[in-house]
Amino acid sequence: MKKILMISTGGTIASEPSPDGLIPTIDGAKMVKMIPRLKGLCEISCKEIMSLDSSNIQPHHWQEMANAINDEYDNYDGFVITHGTDTMAYTAAALSSMLVNLAKPVAITGAQLPIEHPETDGKNNIFHSFHVANSGKPGVFLVFGNKVVSGKVAKKMHTKEFNAFYSINQSYSATITSDGLEWGAELATPTESFRVMTEIEEKVALLKLIPGTSPDIMEYIIDKGYKGIVIEGFGAGGVPNDENNYLPAVEKALKAGLIVICATQCTYDGVNLKEYPIGVLAARLGAISAETMTTERAVTKLMWALGNAKTTEEAKQLFIK
């Protein structure tokens, strides 16, 4: 029987009503006891490292999660992390970078309704997450509704629906059916030793362009000492180059040593900086394409790359890799 560690961090799944709304108060051991179907599946241990609404999750909390897995990596065959849904995709993306050469499953899950609610989705989500953690499949996965999503490509698309998370620009890792888990493409197990790279540069900005936004907002980002910026541009990732021309501001940021990533506000298909002059010119200045990354992946990977690199060029290579 495999040994699985459940790491609790709070979220709606662990919440109870209070005069100020839902507050996470239920620990992992209590949640496990509420799911009798788990009995006999695996040997379960529980560890609570925080109890937060996920809107309050900060980058140092990602580090705590990664270090908790690192501390227990040799003692368990897989891991389940319970987490609030609002920033779950950011955590999944961050851990996908931090847990290097991960050869075991890490299943992240939560719920739209508290686990004590009579119509909760939490019990099913935890049950399925333990099946993922017990599968031996390597990687960080977000398990929610009837889907298993790679942590690198997960995005929350609904605030209420039980199937709240989608796999963006990539097939689902697995589908949950009445017969169990139906896995997609085979997942390669890393041959190099597991390690964590948890350093994070928090001075990364996300700028979502709208028609009329002046490029002087870039001046603020540069002056405040930011090290990188992800620009959510229009369509295939372009920025304006006529009125409100962003190209001089992009060039100034690059000369100041910032890494500039061009992302897109479109959910699907990704960035193509070779298609239109507004993208071509940005790339020519030195901006990097986010390609098919979600915003969550682009932001957290840039934070991680800048935190773990010694030079800007090394950070660029870590981001692209």
CA 1 from chain centre, in angstroms, equals 30
Question: Residue 96: what residue type?
Answer: S
Question: Is residue 206 packed enough to be buried (19+ CB in 10 Å), middle (13-18) or exposed (0-12)?
Answer: middle
The token pair at 9 is 């961090």
The rounded distance, in Å, linking the Cα atoms of 320 and 107 is 25
The rounded distance, in Å, linking the Cα atoms of 259 and 276 is 21
The rounded distance, in Å, linking the Cα atoms of 135 and 123 is 19
Strand partners, 167: 154
The rounded distance, in Å, linking the Cα atoms of 312 and 169 is 28
Which residues are the active-site residues? 12
Angle at 110 between CA 107 and CA 113, to 5 degrees: 160
Place of tokens 């209590």: 30
